[in-house]
Structure 1
């Protein structure tokens, strides 16, 4: 090579250096820079993955717990946004029957009279002390039209139907009675069916003895309330019907029992009554020339203590057995009084409230008492303009007794 021209040797050295540089690649410094750049990229990728792992459970847990808080921003960034042109496939319409509801349907509680009479039912307890004979309450087979005392009976009143407990199905309300003499105790009972179709007792709406003595009528409203017409007395045993008072009281099921929600809770003082007081003086003398007769003169003073004017007053049993009318106020009395116990034997003009009136009756009575002679008693009653008698507000001072036997 020493024979080569120096100029040619210089050009060959420059060409060799240029070729070596292109083939060999970067040197150590460039390699170290490339390595550092790759490590930073790896660290960033690991950090992003860690954020995804931490945020994803938080977002999922918030969704399960119905969290109303705004989800963190990273949760939005890691979930890919679906393309606006994509939509889930539309399911084909089902040709089969719809799936049954998981909510069970309430049993139908509409019960007929025949069905109730053929079943054995449990009844609520009767009033303590009222049913001394012991009307049965467990597994009772109800009867109808019985005159036997202390037997549970299904009253002739019509059944009523309505959704009492809000379950979407109707229940049945019926009046059950228990005879204990001429009168009967009554209960208004709600019946239903269980899941097996058996008749069961939902509960007692109300019963007599709770401030009233009779159940007259029943109505169920569209909201499931039970309106009950009750009466303070049962007209029987000589008690006239016009003495009866009635009220409408409303009851509702509260989930455990029926309780009153509307209407009056008691009858209170009857505004049709007043307070009469009776006093008497008498005189018994012999009748000249008559050995078998004596003259009895009775003077009754009636005071009206109010608050109501008494249009008329009536004296019962005022005629002495074997006696004969002989003067006084007999002219104002019915000459032939009817025999009914609730009708007055002598009806006279009445007494205004706060005033007094005197009534005199003269009779000829036997001179000697008979074997069945007794001390006669007299009682006064308030009567209205329709000749109907009424009980007294107090009643303990409306009667007097003659101190001698006749």
Structure 2
């Protein structure tokens, strides 16, 4: 140990002895506390000095370069805990890829039994008797019935197809409502909602929209609906051969069904013509008879067109016949109608035919006398009667009663 350390130790010993003898210190505990504090302060000072020595050249160097973008460094740095090894970053759980598939549409295939068991809303019925009496809200459909103003499920087969391009089928059925001998009809599309309930998509078409009957329905592969419609209902004594039919096509546009193909009206029936009837008459005495007189009637039939009438029938002869053109009448037809009608050869379009008929009538008018008249009708080669384009000029009346 050198002389400097020895001298220092001697002086410290002398100083401690002198102070201790004069001052009552706090004791060894206080001394140990002060020693630990001095050691901490010394360590802080050492660290601060080291940092200053490192930072100073850097700051000076930046100043010399004139680097204005260099961030300023702190003048002093607080001691920090030594870095510890951080735990590895956990790998995030992969998120499932979002699916773009839309929910599967409900199956709209509905059976007859299921539709009969449900309560459904129907589109409005055509104007007229059906509109005033046939229900449309929460209707429980019935099978075919003779009751009037009762909504029923027609006997037509159900049709199934994808009408709205959603990948699932819908159901098309014909519903009807009887208001007399005839019925109003509608072609209605049904589907199911997401809960499986039967709902009404809309009306494809109904009677009253330019026609009076629906004959058949078919769904095509492209989702269009073909409806065979008829201009009349063959009921109430109307023969079926008078019926005309058309096929009209309808498609769903997202809100309703619109017609996309086929005719939109029937127009005039090209099979019909316009017959016109005129008359002259004469009453004369019958020789040797006081009770009867002879009535001579001349009937002129004109075919105003546009088609030929293969045959014509004149009706109204309910009195005793006496001669003239009665021999031209078809005897079979006269027998079937009890001599009330005379079936005659036809009249081409644009031509006229005159017929003379003689009847014996009472000389005096009795209490049961009534107005007598005649009318003409168009018949085809099969003896079938056809309506006239203008019924107003098809008949004539005698100016007196018999």
TM, length-normalised to structure 1: 0.72
Tell me how large the CA RMSD over aligned residues is.
2.8
Shift of 1:304: 1.2
Q: Distance in 1 between matches of 2:172 and 2:368?
A: 55
Q: Secondary structure at the match of 2:113?
A: helix
Shift of 1:368: 3.5
Pairwise mapping of residues 148-167 of structure 1 onto structure 2 (< 5 A)? 148-167=147-166
1:340-391 C-alpha deviation (Å, 9 max, x unpaired): 89x9922111111111110111122333444432111211111111211111
In the superposition, relative to structure 1, how do residues 256 and 45 fare at CA in structure 2: closer, same or farther (>3 Å)? farther
Q: Secondary structure at the match of 2:331?
A: coil
Does the aligned pair in 1 maintain the 2:317–2:374 contact within 8 Å?
no
Q: Distance in 1 between matches of 2:400 and 2:288?
A: 23
Match of 2:381 among 385, 391, 395: 385
Shift of 1:327: 0.9
Does the aligned pair in 2 maintain the 1:215–1:231 contact within 8 Å?
yes
Shift of 1:208: 0.5
In the superposition, relative to structure 1, how do residues 339 and 126 fare at CA in structure 2: closer, same or farther (>3 Å)? farther
Q: Distance in 1 between matches of 2:65 and 2:331?
A: 134
Shift of 1:290: 2.0
Stretch deviating more after TM superposition (120-129 or 220-229): 120-129
Does the aligned pair in 2 maintain the 1:131–1:150 contact within 8 Å?
yes
Does the aligned pair in 2 maintain the 1:225–1:251 contact within 8 Å?
yes
Gaps of 5+ in 2: 1-56, 72-96
In the superposition, relative to structure 1, how do residues 289 and 220 fare at CA in structure 2: closer, same or farther (>3 Å)? same
Stretch deviating more after TM superposition (186-195 or 366-375): 366-375
Does the aligned pair in 2 maintain the 1:344–1:389 contact within 8 Å?
no
Shift of 1:229: 0.5
In the superposition, relative to structure 1, how do residues 227 and 156 fare at CA in structure 2: closer, same or farther (>3 Å)? same
Shift of 1:274: 1.1
> How many residues in Structure 1 have an aligned counterpart in Structure 2?
319
Gaps of 5+ in 1: 1-30, 47-97
Structure 2 residue 349 is the aligned partner of structure 1 residue 353: yes
Q: Secondary structure at the match of 1:359?
A: strand
In the superposition, relative to structure 1, how do residues 377 and 274 fare at CA in structure 2: closer, same or farther (>3 Å)? same
Q: Distance in 1 between matches of 2:215 and 2:340?
A: 29
Q: Secondary structure at the match of 1:131?
A: helix
Shift of 1:393: 1.2
Q: Distance in 1 between matches of 2:210 and 2:101?
A: 46
Report what 1:247 is aligned to.
246
Q: Distance in 2 between matches of 1:384 and 1:45?
A: 113
Q: Which has the larger radius of gyration?
A: 2
Stretch deviating more after TM superposition (366-375 or 286-295): 366-375
1:30-72 C-alpha deviation (Å, 9 max, x unpaired): x9xxx69x959x99999xxxxxxxxxxxxxxxxxxxxxxxxxx
Shift of 1:339: 8.8
Shift of 1:283: 1.4
Structure 2 residue 393 is the aligned partner of structure 1 residue 397: yes
TM, length-normalised to structure 2: 0.73
Report what 2:86 is aligned to.
none
Match of 1:325 among 311, 321, 324: 321
Q: Distance in 2 between matches of 1:107 and 1:355?
A: 66
